Amino acid sequence: MSLRLVFMGTPDFAVPVLEAFLGAGDTVAAVYSQPPRPAGRGHKLTPSPVQAAAERHGLAVRHPVSLKTAEAQAEFAALAADAAIVVAYGLILPQTVLDAPKFGCFNLHASLLPRWRGAAPIQRAIMAGDAETGVCAMQMDAGLDTGPVLACEKVAIGPRMTVSDLHDELARIGAPLMVRAMHDFAAGRIAPQPQPADGVTYAAKLARDEGRIDWTQPAAAIDRAVRALNPGPGTFFELNGERIKLLAAEPVAGSGAPGTLLDDAGTVACGDGALKLVRLQRPGKGPVPVQAFLNGHPLPRGTRLA
């Protein structure tokens, strides 16, 4: 059965889901996305990835500032959708909007609910050292990712997996999962299941200063932060008054006072173990391998990083 949908999303994570529904033959009556934002050195207004994809398919795109007004809610209801598909949209949906489509509103969430409800589930799963995560198709309610779940799929988090790697894998498996779950639900083949009360965690929004490296932490924890927080908001340390971005690293054997360089090749002692610096970036410069960085800025053994 073909569904009449409203699609609500903004970042590139949402694009495969939009295209999967179009590929399945569903009708997208309208796309809702955050408005174009200044980007690049010229601060040119740039449409979101979802808007760009929608326009390639000739779909109408809307950018309401809020969905809380009677006018915005009436325009949404007039679309007479079977369901709204929401993927990292960026606006809160009031109850009136949640109730407007025939079947309701449904979200693709990048975690195995109820673990990592909230804004940054992919990054938090890596930072916590989780062995696995996944995606869930859920029916939305007024709470924060608290609605009943239609279907989930798991993904192992590899020991060197970065946030970009995991993001792409979750987007890849999430798109067909969402299409399959919605069609099964509309046909009465599956029913939403309440989330368990146990195991709830919250993936708080990432703060800029979370990227400041604390060398007293275990090397494994710092490594996870580097893999989770780059490219944004980024991990960094202070050196000679400069904020140096640490873009890649790997745990290695070693011990010493935390933050101390153990050799001339960029191995830093941590609270437990050591971390080999792999790729660095100075302010206003491009990323470089550690050896290129050290060629221009030698850091002798015993140097302390803040």
> Binding-site residues for (6S)-5,6,7,8-tetrahydrofolate, please?
111-114
CATH of domain 4-202: 3.40.50.170
168-213 per-position pLDDT tens digit? 999 999 999 999 999 999 999 999 999 999 999 999 999 988 999 9
64-82 per-position pLDDT tens digit? 999 999 999 999 999 999 9
What global pTM score does this model have? 0.94
Question: Which H helix or E strand runs over 173?
Answer: helix 163-186
User: Is the bond preceding 233 in cis, omega lying within 30 degrees of 0?
Assistant: yes
**DSSP output for 1-39:** ---EEEEEE-SGGGHHHHHHHHHTT-EEEEEE-PPPEEE
> Binding-site residues, please?
111-114
Q: What is the domain partition of the chain in residue ranges? A: 4-202, 208-296
**208-296 placed in CATH 1.10.8.10:** no
